[in-house]
């Protein structure tokens, strides 16, 4: 079962596991623009069962579990994903991310307590990293901890999105302690790839490419030196598979998962890569947004050590795949932007 299976990460996850012969059940209310297109793309390739169900609706979620009574693993991706939207509507954000995750945990507890439960959490649970010294370079900020941020960093939920996802992250960990569920929270850095219907507020890497190919101007919030470690979506999906293989050994751990220092980029460096790939990008600078970290680089040591997983796809290579996808789907993306 994949919640948010018609979303960006979800459709790649569904496609990957369907190709391997697994039966796929998706819960997705299709609230994200582009999700219907992702779902149709998926359905063309594989037989998929889709429920247009809201995860906030406890009874509706239970109904799905009642009908689908052979769920072997749950990958929970459905979420309200934009910090800006969470600031303008914190209640909806809470309902979807915190309550929605609680509903999923409760359903797993009652219907399939042995099923591995993978939660897509976020590096935003560490907030603005006030205790981490940040150095300013010519084109990027750097953190003093060269290896990146590991799981011992204090949690500091900043922004309603940080609070709702952070709350979900903690429930997922606690349901392993209290109810012996087989859970794991994957604290993801920036994930990117094709089929990401990025907008200014979320999915910045895809958004920059879509806007540039369609001739739109881009606003950079801050000075462009902000750094993110970026992880190509297929690499993440391979980690989900390794986690599912852990089965009943999953016991409420959290892992920081991103591209790490090697696959990190500042916005200015990203723009240079786009220029190298022949894109002429037009941008202006604006104020920083609340909750925006100046720099985040994941320390992947724990996940590498315990799961034997590592990011493989270099940004230049991953970015190239989005550029091609955007160029091949200009009309679709134009109509998506016009709505
Ligand atoms: N993309 C990233 O860079 C990134 C980084 C860190 C964490 N995450 C987390 O990974 C997960 C997936 O992210 P994504 O980028 O694929 O986002 P996405 O918006 O593309 O996918 C989320 C999907 O959830 C669905 N959805 C939203 N509310 C729902 C609800 N109430 N009921 C049922 N379905 C609902 C949407 O229609 C959408 O298809 C999210 O939990 C997100 O917080 C993503």
At the top level of CATH, which class does the domain 2-338 belong to? alpha beta
Q: Where are the domains of the chain?
A: 2-338
Smallest CA-to-CA distance from 101 within 130, 58, 144 is with 58
From 77, 201, 255, give the residue whose CB has the most ligand 1 atoms within 8 Å, as the site to mutate: 77
Smallest CA-to-CA distance from 37 within 6, 2, 76 is with 6
Cα separation, 65 vs 78, whole angstroms: 16
pLDDT (tens, 9 = 90+) of the chain, 339 residues, equals 999 999 999 999 999 999 999 999 999 999 999 999 999 999 999 999 999 999 999 999 999 999 999 999 999 999 999 999 999 999 999 999 999 999 999 999 999 999 999 999 999 999 989 889 999 999 999 998 879 999 999 999 999 999 999 999 999 999 999 999 999 999 999 999 999 999 888 899 999 999 999 999 899 999 999 999 999 999 999 999 999 999 999 999 999 999 999 999 999 999 999 999 999 899 999 999 876 789 999 999 999 999 999 999 999 999 999 999 999 999 999 988 876
Please work out whether the CB of residue 4 comes within 6 Å of at least one atom of ligand 1. Answer: yes
Q: Which of 51, 126, 141, 161 is catalytic?
A: 161
**Atom in ligand 1 nearest the alpha carbon of residue 95:** 31
> Which residues are within 8 A (CB) of 77 and not within 5 positions of it... i.e. 6 or more apart?
2, 3, 4, 5, 7, 9, 10, 13, 120
Which residue reads 């979807």 in tokens?
A: 96
From 2, 9, 25, 190, give the residue whose CB has the most ligand 1 atoms within 8 Å, as the site to mutate: 9
Q: The tokens of 268 are what? A: 């200015």
- Taking the model in full, what pTM does it have? 0.97
Q: Please say whether the beta carbons of 208 and 281 come within 8 A.
A: yes
> Which residues are within 8 A (CB) of 1 and not within 5 positions of it... i.e. 6 or more apart?
24, 25, 26, 27, 68, 71, 73, 74, 75
């Amino acid at each position: 079962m994949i919640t948010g299976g018609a979303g960006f990460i979800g459709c790649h996850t569904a496609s990957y596991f369907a190709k391997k012969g697994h039966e796929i059940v998706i819960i997705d209310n299709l609230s994200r623009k582009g999700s219907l297109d992702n779902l149709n793309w998926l359905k063309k390739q594989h037989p998929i069962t889709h429920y247009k169900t809201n995860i906030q609706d406890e009874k509706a979620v239970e109904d799905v579990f009642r009908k689908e009574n052979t769920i072997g693993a749950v990958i929970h991706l459905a979420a309200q994903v934009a910090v800006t939207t969470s600031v303008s509507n914190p209640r909806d954000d809470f309902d979807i991310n915190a309550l929605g995750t609680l509903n999923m945990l409760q359903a797993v507890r009652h219907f399939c307590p042995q099923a591995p439960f993978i939660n897509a959490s976020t590096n935003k649970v560490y907030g603005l990293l006030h205790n981490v010294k940040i150095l300013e370079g010519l084109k990027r900020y750097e953190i003093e901890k060269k290896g990146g941020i590991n799981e011992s960093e204090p949690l500091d939920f900043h922004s309603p999105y940080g609070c709702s996802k952070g709350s979900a992250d903690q429930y997922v960990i606690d349901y392993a302690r209290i109810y012996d569920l087989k859970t794991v929270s994957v604290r993801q850095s920036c994930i990117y790839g094709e089929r990401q219907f990025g907008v200014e507020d979320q999915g910045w890497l895809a958004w920059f490419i879509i806007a540039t190919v369609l001739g739109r101007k881009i606003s950079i919030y801050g000075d462009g030196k902000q750094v993110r470690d970026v992880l190509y979506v297929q690499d993440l999906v391979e980690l989900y598979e390794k986690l599912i293989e852990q089965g009943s050994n999953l016991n409420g751990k959290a892992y920081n998962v991103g591209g790490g220092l090697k696959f990190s980029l500042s916005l200015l460096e990203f723009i240079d890569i786009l220029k190298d790939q022949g894109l002429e990008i037009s941008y202006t600078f604006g104020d920083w947004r609340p909750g925006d970290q100046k720099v985040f680089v994941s320390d992947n040591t724990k996940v590498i050590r315990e799961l034997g997983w590592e990011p493989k796809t270099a940004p230049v290579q991953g970015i190239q795949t989005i550029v091609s996808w955007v160029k091949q789907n200009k009309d679709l993306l134009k109509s998506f932007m016009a709505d």
